[in-house]
């Protein structure tokens, strides 16, 4: 075996594992994710598209089929990339290029409010030029990614993000004792669907923090 053979063999392994890693297979499959409004909205749109092709399935059937396919994909990827997994994890490298795969028709707007008497007033709201407290940090890509990922299902990180945001408010406004961090859920309409583009649907995941 020559050096050229060795290099070719190594590159074959690199290309193989990275290609499998890049395959459009799901990385996790959680049944509850398929019941979310955005997922059901997507499945309904696929149902209409398939009906146009003469394939008629109920929304429930398509939901189950999508979940079963996802589970299979997760298992296949895990098995095929098992030898390279430790290296992928140590270096946090990979080939997950899922960029705006499902444009979200139910986006969320981040809002931070402070309590003054019985009233709540805004200090920050996404894309609101009159309420821009710490906007530079809140729209910074890494911070945005922390809260944007929580608007469907708030987790532990949302809780900690709210604590951080509240601490920033307390530091900037000594007179403030209570802060509320929340999302306002929106629904995007395409032209022809509604007279308006965005409609506020309601508050989500409000977190209240009091000055320690």
Measured from the CB atom, the residue of 114 and 186 that comes closer to another protein is: 186
Task: Specify whether the CB–CB gap between 87 and 95 falls below 8 A.
Answer: no
DSSP lists the bridge partners of residue 115 as 120
Within residues 78-97, the interface with another protein by CB under 8 A covers 90-97
Select from 86, 117, 174, 191 the one that contacts another protein (CB under 8 A).
191
User: Kindly report the CA angle at 146 between 108 and 82, in degrees rounded to 5?
Assistant: 120
Residue 20, token pair as written in the block: 């499998």
Q: How far is CA 57 from the centre of its chain?
A: 28
| Contact between 152 and another protein per CB under 8 A | no
Q: How far apart are CA 143 and CA 171, in angstroms?
A: 19
Q: How far apart are CA 164 and CA 161, in angstroms?
A: 5
Q: How far apart are CA 183 and CA 98, in angstroms?
A: 24
Handedness of CA 72, 74, 77, 83 (dihedral sign): negative
Within residues 113-132, the interface with another protein by CB under 8 A covers 126-127
Select from 74, 80, 143, 176 the one that contacts another protein (CB under 8 A).
143
Q: How far is CA 99 from the centre of its chain?
A: 11
**Stretch of 14-22, 55-63, 114-122, 203-211 contacting another protein, by CB under 8 A:** 14-22
**Stretch of 75-83, 115-123, 153-161, 172-180 contacting another protein, by CB under 8 A:** 153-161
Within residues 21-80, the interface with another protein by CB under 8 A covers 22-24, 42, 45-46, 49, 52
Q: How far is CA 125 from the centre of its chain?
A: 19
Select from 77, 105, 122, 131 the one that contacts another protein (CB under 8 A).
105
Ramachandran class of 46: left when φ > 0, alpha when ψ lies in -120 to 50, beta otherwise? alpha
Residue 150, token pair as written in the block: 């929580």
Measured from the CB atom, the residue of 93 and 116 that comes closer to another protein is: 93
Task: Give the nearest distance from C-beta 118 to another protein in angstroms.
Answer: 28
Within residues 160-189, the interface with another protein by CB under 8 A covers 160-161, 163-164, 167, 186, 188
Binding interface with another protein (CB under 8 A):
4-5, 7-8, 11-12, 14-15, 18-19, 22-24, 42, 45-46, 49, 52, 90-105, 107-110, 126-127, 136-137, 139-149, 151, 156-157, 160-161, 163-164, 167, 186, 188, 190-191, 197-198
């Amino acid at each position: 075996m020559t050096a050229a053979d060795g290099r070719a063999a190594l590159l074959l392994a690199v290309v193989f594992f990275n290609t499998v890693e890049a395959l459009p297979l799901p990385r996790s499959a959680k049944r509850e994710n398929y019941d979310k409004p955005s997922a059901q909205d997507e499945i309904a749109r696929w149902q209409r598209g398939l009906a146009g092709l003469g394939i008629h399935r109920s929304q429930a059937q398509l939901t189950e089929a999508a979940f079963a396919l996802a589970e299979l994909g997760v298992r296949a990827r895990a098995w095929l990339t098992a030898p390279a997994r430790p290296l992928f994890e140590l270096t946090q490298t990979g080939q997950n290029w899922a960029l705006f795969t499902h444009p979200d028709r139910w986006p969320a707007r981040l809002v931070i409010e402070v309590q003054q008497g019985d009233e709540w007033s805004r200090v920050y709201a996404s894309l609101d030029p009159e309420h821009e407290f710490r906007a530079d940090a809140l729209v910074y890509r890494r911070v945005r990614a922390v809260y944007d990922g929580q608007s469907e299902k708030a987790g532990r990180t949302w809780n900690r993000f709210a604590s951080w945001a509240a601490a920033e408010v307390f530091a900037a406004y000594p007179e403030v004792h209570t802060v509320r961090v929340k999302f306002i859920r929106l629904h995007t309409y395409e032209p022809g669907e509604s007279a308006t583009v965005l409609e506020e649907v309601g508050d989500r995941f409000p977190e209240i923090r009091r000055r320690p």
